[in-house]
Amino acid sequence: MSTDAAPTWPAEFADRYRAAGHWRGETFGGMLRRRAEAHPDRIAVVDPVAGHRWSYAELDRRADRLAAGFLARDIAKGDRVVVHLPNVAEFFEVIFALFRIGALPVFALPAHRETEIRYFCEFTGAVAYVISAEHAGYDYRELAARTRAEVPALRHVFVATGDPGGFESLADVAEAPAGAPADVAEEPAGGDGPRPHELAFLQLSGGSTGVPKLIPRTHDDYIYSLRGSNEICGVDENSVYLCALPAAHNFPLSSPGSLGTLYAGGRVVLCPRPSPDAAFPLIERERVTVTGLVPPLALLWIAAAPGTAHDLSSLDVLLVGGAKFSEEAARRVGPALGCTLQQVFGMAEGLVNYTRLDDPVETIVTTQGRPISPDDEILVVDDEDHEVVPGMTGHLLTRGPYTIRGYWNAPEHNARSFTDDGFYRTGDIVRVTTTGHLVVEGRAKDQINRGGEKIAAEEVENHILAHPSVHDANVVAEPDPYLGERVCAYVILRPGADPLKALAVKRFVRERGLAAYKIPDRVEFVDAFPQTGVGKVSKKDLRAAAAGGTPLSPGT
Ligand code: AMP
Ligand code: DBH
């Protein structure tokens, strides 16, 4: 499978982004080398559980050794490697090793299970899969064994931390055999090494289709988003970023996240869990200055902060995003945590908006920020793609120097998700204020945003439909005071089928090996679905019913 399958920017745009100084011809491998040369002894990554405190020189050396080990195992430029790690230091060792080779990490989340992992491996034609032995009570080696049995093209499973069982440990890979090519390209020297305009990795989309889509990001475009984010969020070499959300997610990876912090020469502290009991002691001990949370976690932190014995005074900035943060909660961040709130409205496909540190408080608490770049193009359109009157609500379309022009190997989705002139259809409903800030007013895509975790309704529907007793299923969001939204499934049983309990549907979906956050929180059995005028299922009415507005009477 060729990586040419990623649509890219037309030359006139690429030239413009280079001329503007957005794309500066850096690679991730080169970036780490430069930092290690400039300040070898500064601490880059702290992993408090393992007790690691790796300097820039150490991370750089480890990435080189591991890259040599990967090359010796025939992992080559352009190969895909599914990286499925919790918040451990080895996450950075692995991805920088892959960046150096030009192999592409595919960023799975710790919550993903067999169904998602098998799909990522199969769809990307991955040659290797990297796990930790165990995390949060789950054994990833068993998942790896099942995946390997089903995906013959997967040549390697590497275990980054813990007992490797029957697989190869990452430490062994890093012990490259003598004579192995240790000299890996870290710069676009004209050889075979990765070049700045080429793909660096595949990020995942929350999506709205039956299976997740893969997002091809280049060194040039992603590094620009890091540099822009650092400037807006005040991240520099003195910053200490607490990575509390799953490290591979686009928000904690890049907004400004761990990679932004490493770009700046700062320090990344990995938090094994995002709850206050894990995070607050680390904030105190490591003098954390900045972190990012999804709204439900921000609520937890706000509630826990006043009673904590831990000193949180080093915290300057809290970024909150991934889902809409309510104005009331936003107002409580400053008083409770003693830091500045930055709302962030971003997407793994590209565009990221931030409120600015010096925005008036009213702007910070009532908007989701404005774009990173002066070259981010924002269009707000009606259902016919006509621009709405400024200030009115409509569909957000965007194009720019770090927003993809198409998903990886998905021509049909691309025809729907991008306009002919290359704008990405975000699926978000927004309005733009007179100051150019965006306010997220809703969503047109068939997706549930469960506290920042995105769930494509169609994906869950397909799993429920696989149950032999199910005739039809529709999945919608139902409001939840804590998560914002939860997953509600409406199910019609087959005539004559044995009656099912809600619990049995949930168990069925779980046993199909799906991430826990996608399993319906509520299952309702109905005789029929409400219909629109032309006889389609009315998700609007189902959502209203789930919200408790209009009960669905049997037979409606
Ligand atoms: P993904 O495309 O999976 O990376 O998810 C990005 C989506 O998350 C956006 O298109 C929005 O729907 C949602 N999102 C992210 N940040 C915010 C925010 N601050 N407020 C509202 N929605 C958000
Ligand atoms: O939800 C997201 O995907 C997201 C949120 C905030 C994101 O990708 C980002 C910032 O970069």
370 within domain boundaries: no
Work out the angle at residue 414's Cα, subtended by the Cα atoms of residues 389 and 153, and round it to the nearest 5 degrees.
150
Is the pLDDT at 3 greater than 60, yes or no? Answer: no
Question: Which ligand 1 atom lies nearest to the CA of residue 427?
Answer: 10
Which ligand is in closest contact with the Cα of 372?
2
Q: What CA–CA distance (Å, rounded) separates 248 from 121? A: 16
Q: Name the one residue in this structure whose structure tokens are 């999804």.
A: 294
Cβ of residue 218 lying under 6 Å from some atom of ligand 2: no
- Ligand nearest the Cα atom of residue 449: 1
CATH of the domain at 486: 3.30.300.30
- Examine the pLDDT at 307 and tell me if it is beyond 60: yes
Locate tokens 């060792």: which residue? 93
- Name the amino acid, one letter, at 555: G
Q: Please, which residues bridge with residue 83 across strands?
A: 107, 130
Cβ neighbours of 15 (radius 10 Å): 12
What CA–CA distances, in Å, run from 284 to 242, 258, 292? 11, 19, 16
Number of structural domains the chain divides into: 2
The residue among 194, 222, 256 that closes a domain is: 194
Q: Is 81 exposed, middle or buried (0-12, 13-18, 19+ CB in 10 A)?
A: buried
Q: Report helix, strand or coil for 422.
A: coil
**Residues 422-468: tens digit of each pLDDT:** 999 999 999 999 999 999 999 999 999 999 999 999 999 999 999 99
Structure confidence by residue, pLDDT tens digits, 326-337:
999 999 999 999
What span, in angstroms and rounded, lies between the C-alpha atoms of 157 and 159?
Answer: 7
Per-residue confidence (pLDDT) for residue 535, from 0 to 100: 85
The Å distance, Cα 207 to ligand 1 centre, comes to 10
What would the two tokens of residue 289 be?
Answer: 């200055």
Provide the pairing of β-strand 43-47 with 267-270. Answer: parallel
What is the phi/psi pair of residue 226, to 5°?
-70, -45
User: What's the one-letter identity of residue 527?
Assistant: D
Question: Which CATH number is 124's domain given?
Answer: 3.40.50.980
Q: How far is the CA of 82 from the centre of ligand 1 (A)?
A: 23
Domain presence at residue 353 = no
Q: Measure the CA–CA gap between 294 and 485, rounded to whole angstroms.
A: 13
Question: Of 194, 222, 250, which marks where a domain is finished?
Answer: 194
Candidate from 344, 353, 396 with most ligand 2 atoms within 8 A of CB, to mutate:
344
Q: Is residue 291 part of a domain?
A: no
Whose alpha carbon is nearest atom 5 of ligand 1?
347
**Among candidates 248, 205, 239, 203, which has minimal Cα distance to 90?**
248
Cα–ligand 2 centroid distance for 321 (angstroms) = 7
pLDDT tens digits for range 160-196: 999 999 999 999 999 965 555 555 555 544 457 899 9
What tokens were used for 291?
């972190």
Phi first, then psi: what are they for 511, rounded to 5°?
-70, -15
CA 143, CA 131: separation in Å to the nearest integer?
10
Q: What angle is formed at CA 346 by the lines to CA 482 and CA 17, rounded to 5 degrees?
A: 175
Q: Whose CA is nearest to atom 11 of ligand 2?
A: 251
Q: Is 112 exposed, middle or buried (0-12, 13-18, 19+ CB in 10 A)?
A: buried
Q: Cα 358 vs. chain centroid, distance in angstroms?
A: 27
Burial class of 309 by CB neighbour count within 10 A (0 to 12, 13 to 18, 19+): exposed
**What does the pLDDT read at residue 76?**
97
Instruction: Give the Cα separation of 535 and 556 in Å (integer).
Output: 12
pLDDT band at 405 (very low <50, low <70, confident <90, very high): very high
Residue 500 lies in a domain: yes
Residue among 229, 249, 355 whose CB has most ligand 2 atoms within 8 A, to mutate: 249
Please work out whether the CB of residue 255 comes within 6 Å of at least one atom of ligand 2: yes
Q: Which ligand is nearest to the CA of 256?
A: 2
Q: What was the pLDDT predicted at 344?
A: 98
| Inside any domain, residue 392 | no
Ligand 2 contact via 318 beta carbon (within 6 Å):
no
For residue 452, the ligand 2 atom closest to its alpha carbon is: 1
In a domain, residue 48? The reply is: no
Q: Whose CA is nearest to atom 12 of ligand 1?
A: 428
As a whole-number percent, the residues of the chain with pLDDT over 70 amount to 95
| Cα dihedral 272→278→280→286 (10° resolution) | -40
- The pocket around ligand 1, CB under 6 angstroms, is made up of 205-206, 250, 321-324, 343-349, 368, 426, 428, 440, 443, 449, 454
In the chain, pLDDT over 90 holds for what percent of residues? Answer: 91
Determine, yes or no, domain membership for 362: no
pLDDT, tens digit, 9 for 90 and up, residues 320-365: 999 999 999 999 999 999 999 999 999 999 999 999 999 999 999 9
Q: Average pLDDT, whole number, for the chain?
A: 95
Out of 194, 212, 233, a domain closes at 194
Give the ligand with the smallest distance to the CA of 447: 1
Total residue length of the chain: 556
pLDDT of amino acid 192: 73
**Is this model's pTM higher than 0.85 or not?**
yes
DSSP E strands, 33-102? 43-47, 52-55, 80-84
Per-residue pLDDT at 505: 97
The answer as to whether 458 is a domain residue is yes
Compute, in angstroms, the gap from residue 452 CA to the centroid of ligand 1.
Answer: 7
Q: Which of 174, 201, 183, 337 is nearest to 259 (CA)?
A: 201
Place of tokens 């259809």: 425
347 C-beta closer than 6 A to ligand 2: yes
The encoded tokens of residue 366 equal 């009532």
C-alpha 166, offset from chain centre = 30
Domain hosting residue 458, numbered range: 447-548
Q: What are the two backbone dihedrals, phi and then psi, of residue 277, each rounded to the nearest 5 degrees?
A: -65, -30
